[in-house]
Amino acid sequence: MKILSSLLLMLILFSCNAQARESDLTEILYTTYEDHKENSLEKRRIKYADLQPLIEQYASNPKFQVNKVGESIEGRDLNLISIGNGSIDVFLWSQMHGNEPTATQAIFDILNFLDSKFNVQEKREIFGKLRIHFLPMLNPDGAEVFQRRNTLGIDINRDALRLQSPEGRALKRVRDSLEADFGFNLHDQSIYYNAELTPKPATISYLAPAYNYEKDINDVRGNAIKVIGFMNDIIQKYAPGQVGRYNDDFEPRAFGDNIQKWGTSTILIESGGFADDIEKQEIRKLNYVSILSAIYTIARGSYNSISLDTYWAIPENDRKLFDLKLEEVGYNLLGKDYILDLGIHLQEVDDEIHSDFWYKARISDQGDLSTYYGYKTLNAKGYMVREGKVYDQVLESLEDLNDASALNLLDEGYVYVRVKNLPKDQVFSPYPVHVISENYKLPELKLAVGQNPTFFLEYDGELKYVVMNGFLIDLETGPGSVRMNGLLLR
């Protein structure tokens, strides 16, 4: 009896477990992500050479087939990695824009998952129904120098008709040879996109591209719309309100629009921004979870029951975000006080080998910015903009500075430090103050679009905040662990 009841209990547990697995693969993918993450690709500035050892691994793994399908202009191989035995072909390509690497990273996470020994049952379904093909980093030459365009200087995504780029030709050749049923066109978008009329970043934006100017919806486009509806629900769970829908005006030169036209249900995914996620690793995880879940729903055909309305209910993409928004700050110009909002963007400047970057901030807009939002926002009502001072001693070298001494200088109202012997190859200040050469003539502070935002905020005659190269530092609590740098002005 005891044996029988424990057997029964095991059976119940097992079937519950199986059901849970089936209905909530998504949750499992989310919670076990770290087990599958490809840890060798942790920064956005990844290169072709970083992918090679991974692709070689799959080439010698009997579960996968790896085929060279073309070469970039500079002669880097374009590889297609395929798995599965089903009759439905799913084709995913990433990084046709060289500086859009998030989905490339996610593809290698997905491959790790597909190769793993977990979730056998779901994988049996997936591989039984689908054959999945990955073409990661379609523009390796662009990735090498972290730029959008290829070496010919063209946007591959406007080359679907003229086909001058070998990368574009490879993409079309693969699409045509597979006659793929589903296509995932994987990109990154500006982190300054938001879900329309909200301060939430468009962490993921979707588009089921139109295949004609009339923007008709046939079965091919309709299926893409349904799968997007499914993925939207997933992202809403983990990043509520952070999804945007791209404008679907027909672009006759673009690959997404044409691939839809050629009969492949095409889903464009744009990875945008997420607060405090500089290297976009949280967004990469959301790509992993939502794309794998989409693959599963395609295998099961369950996307079919999703209403087209889900897609149209996603708010449109807008572009209304700043890194820092200061509201209603007081500013004295020629003896009179004015109230301004300031919208500040942090621009990334690459190092020489495009493997890392430093920040150079600019004021992007000023005036009434009440229809805009910030990743960080300070209501500065009652605060006055005050010019930062130059420290009165000249330092011998950069080694005479450190983070702590720089913060002390800020506390005393200094934000510029003169340094005598500046190393030739140093192009920015690694500390939260600006470093200037011995004879550098500092222009007077003037708030204007294009200017570097550096000033103090004074309240009741006391300095409360400093904006240093676009970074807002509370002088009471310090900067915290935010990555920041100052400028170096010679």
In whole angstroms, how close is the CB of 317 to Zn ion at the nearest point? 13
Return the number of the residue (210 or 487) whose C-beta is nearest Zn ion.
210
The piece of 170-178, 181-189, 342-350, 439-447 that touches Zn ion (CB under 5 A) is 181-189
- List the structure tokens of 100: 């859009």
Radius of gyration, CA atoms only, the chain? 26
The piece of 97-105, 303-311, 340-348, 400-408 that touches Zn ion (CB under 5 A) is 97-105
In whole angstroms, how close is the CB of 72 to Zn ion at the nearest point? 16
The piece of 38-46, 116-124, 187-195, 377-385 that touches Zn ion (CB under 5 A) is 187-195
Return the number of the residue (13 or 161) whose C-beta is nearest Zn ion.
161
Q: Residue 372: CB partners within 8 Å, gap ≥ 6?
A: 320, 321, 322, 325, 341, 343, 365
In whole angstroms, how close is the CB of 161 to Zn ion at the nearest point? 18
Single-letter amino acid, residue 224: A
Cβ atoms of 148 and 142 closer than 8 Å: yes
Dihedrals phi, psi of 294, to nearest 5 degrees: -65, -40
Q: Residue with CB nearest Zn ion? A: 187
Q: Residue for token digits 């996109």?
A: 193
Cβ atoms of 454 and 388 closer than 8 Å: yes
Return the number of the residue (157 or 454) whose C-beta is nearest Zn ion.
157
The binder of Zn ion chosen from 97, 129, 131, 285 (CB under 5 A): 97
Cβ atoms of 50 and 126 closer than 8 Å: no
Size of the site for Zn ion (CB under 5 A): 3
x/- track of binding to Zn ion for residues 39-78 (CB under 5 A)? ----------------------------------------
In whole angstroms, how close is the CB of 88 to Zn ion at the nearest point? 26
Q: How many residues are given for the chain?
A: 490
In whole angstroms, how close is the CB of 100 to Zn ion at the nearest point? 5
The piece of 24-32, 96-104, 106-114, 175-183 that touches Zn ion (CB under 5 A) is 96-104
Return the number of the residue (97 or 418) whose C-beta is nearest Zn ion.
97
The piece of 9-17, 66-74, 92-100, 138-146 that touches Zn ion (CB under 5 A) is 92-100
Distance of CA 456 to the CA centre of its chain: 31
Q: Residue for token digits 């930062």?
A: 388
Residue 478's alpha-carbon distances to 343, 431, 475, in angstroms, are 22, 13, 5
Cβ atoms of 246 and 162 closer than 8 Å: no
In whole angstroms, how close is the CB of 193 to Zn ion at the nearest point? 12
Q: Residue for token digits 């309240």?
A: 459
Instruction: In whole angstroms, give the CA distance from residue 456 to residue 394.
Output: 22
In whole angstroms, how close is the CB of 91 to Zn ion at the nearest point? 17
Return the number of the residue (97 or 133) whose C-beta is nearest Zn ion.
97
Half-sphere exposure of 428 (CA within 13 A, CB side): 19
Instruction: In whole angstroms, give the CA distance from residue 296 to residue 275.
Output: 29
In whole angstroms, how close is the CB of 96 to Zn ion at the nearest point? 7
In whole angstroms, how close is the CB of 160 to Zn ion at the nearest point? 13
In whole angstroms, how close is the CB of 26 to Zn ion at the nearest point? 26
State yes or no: residue 187 binds Zn ion (CB under 5 A).
Answer: yes
State yes or no: residue 149 binds Zn ion (CB under 5 A).
Answer: no
Return the number of the residue (100 or 327) whose C-beta is nearest Zn ion.
100
Return the number of the residue (256 or 432) whose C-beta is nearest Zn ion.
256
Instruction: In whole angstroms, give the CA distance from residue 78 to residue 84.
Output: 20
Phi-psi domain of 436 (left: phi exceeds 0; alpha: psi -120 through 50; beta: other): beta
Instruction: In whole angstroms, give the CA distance from residue 483 to residue 490.
Output: 23
Return the number of the residue (273 or 486) whose C-beta is nearest Zn ion.
273
Dihedrals phi, psi of 301, to nearest 5 degrees: 75, 10
The piece of 4-12, 14-22, 90-98, 138-146 that touches Zn ion (CB under 5 A) is 90-98
The piece of 15-23, 68-76, 184-192, 440-448 that touches Zn ion (CB under 5 A) is 184-192
In whole angstroms, how close is the CB of 272 to Zn ion at the nearest point? 11
Q: Residue for token digits 């009896």?
A: 1
State yes or no: residue 226 binds Zn ion (CB under 5 A).
Answer: no
The piece of 99-107, 311-319, 390-398, 440-448 that touches Zn ion (CB under 5 A) is 99-107
Instruction: In whole angstroms, give the CA distance from residue 159 to residue 164.
Output: 7
Half-sphere exposure of 219 (CA within 13 A, CB side): 3
Q: Which residues bind Zn ion (CB under 5 A)?
A: 97, 100, 187
